[in-house]
Amino acid sequence: MIEENLRVVLRSIEESRAKRKLADPKEPVRLVAVTKNHEVHEMREAIACGVTDIGENRIQEAREKFAALERDAVRHLIGHLQKNKAKYAVSLFDLIHSVDTTELAQVLDKEAAKIGKVQDVLVQVNLAREATKSGVYEEELQPMLEAVDNLLHLRLCGLMCIAPNYENVEDVRPLFRRMYEIFQRTKEFPWKTANIIYLSMGMTHDYRIAVEEGANIVRVGTAIFGPRQY
């Protein structure tokens, strides 16, 4: 099941990449298999099928599952992170997608310094200004990115967004297109240490559109592992 689902997702990503108009169709897309609320044996199976990147959204759950995993993958934190868990986040994850305040960035920097790590991070943008979602508003983005760029133990690698769940999935396209424009503009800024290479957007229901509009990381759970049991 996982193997077949994965094949379908990878094929869809390739098809969507070929349809890109603004972004480079040749630029590859990284698939993060989102394993939250799924069992360790499902993570194992996905990794055995060639998955190289896994995503979790909760520290405690990730900690237990990673400890049980023999063969590793690149680990992504995709969920909202509380400052008091920053310490665990830097010890567990390769890329943190969900940095949403300067205060959180500062705490992560401090914790990364303690373990002698430079932590790769993305800044989460709340482009649709949804009250239920975290992320910085567009007008706060540039100052926040500059603040993160100044932190020596964080390496700013790009931007992340979670789109609203529209009834008609096509309605999300202008938003993804706008994110891509912001990403391009961000790439061109003369940063001190940041290396802006990732635009993380797209989940099961909208990753095809996200890839068409220039996402180079997609975070897909349900389409690979089936529905989550809560």
Ligand X SMILES: *Cc1c(COP(=O)(O)O)cnc(C)c1O
Distance CA 96, CA 123 (A): 9
Nearer to ligand X, 61 or 138 (CB): 61
Pick the binder of ligand X from 78, 90, 141, 154 (CB under 6 A): 78
Question: DSSP characters for 153-192?
Answer: TEEEEEEEE-----SSGGGGHHHHHHHHHHHHHHHHS--S
Considering only 15, 143, 222, 226, the residue that binds ligand X (CB under 6 A) is 222
**Which among 46-54, 66-74, 167-175, 220-228 is the span making contact with ligand X, rule CB under 6 A?**
220-228
Binding flag, residue 127, ligand X (CB under 6 A): no
Which phi-psi region, left, alpha or beta, contains residue 107 (left: φ > 0; alpha: ψ -120 to 50)? Answer: alpha
Residue 95 contacts ligand X per CB under 6 A: no
60 binds ligand X (CB under 6 A): no
Report the candidate in 90, 99, 77 with the shortest Cα–Cα distance to residue 158. 99
How many whole angstroms separate alpha carbon 144 and alpha carbon 84? 20
Residue nearest to ligand X (CB): 221
- Taking CB under 6 A as the criterion, which residues in 4-23 touch ligand X? none
Question: Measuring CA to CA, how many Å separate 32 from each of 3, 62, 163, 209?
Answer: 15, 14, 17, 16
Any contact of residue 220 with ligand X (CB under 6 A)? yes
Residue 200: which H helix or E strand, with range?
Answer: strand 198-200
- The β-bridge partners of 197 are none
Stretch touching ligand X by CB under 6 A, among 11-19, 21-29, 179-187, 216-224: 216-224
Parallel/antiparallel/unpaired status of strands 154-161 and 74-77: unpaired
Token couple for 127: 């482009």
Site string for ligand X, 20-49 (x = CB under 6 A): --------------x-x-------------
Asked if 203 is part of the footprint of ligand X (rule: CB under 6 A), the reply reads: yes
| Residue 134 interacting with ligand X (CB under 6 A) | no
Angular region, 158: left φ>0, alpha ψ -120 to 50, beta rest: left
How many residues touch ligand X under the rule CB under 6 A: the total is 13
Minimum distance, C-beta of residue 38 to ligand X, in the bound complex (Å): 10
Q: Is 204 in the site for ligand X (CB under 6 A)?
A: yes
Considering only residues 142-181, where is the footprint of ligand X by CB under 6 A?
162
| Contacting positions for ligand X (CB under 6 A) | 34, 36, 57, 78-79, 162, 203-204, 219-223
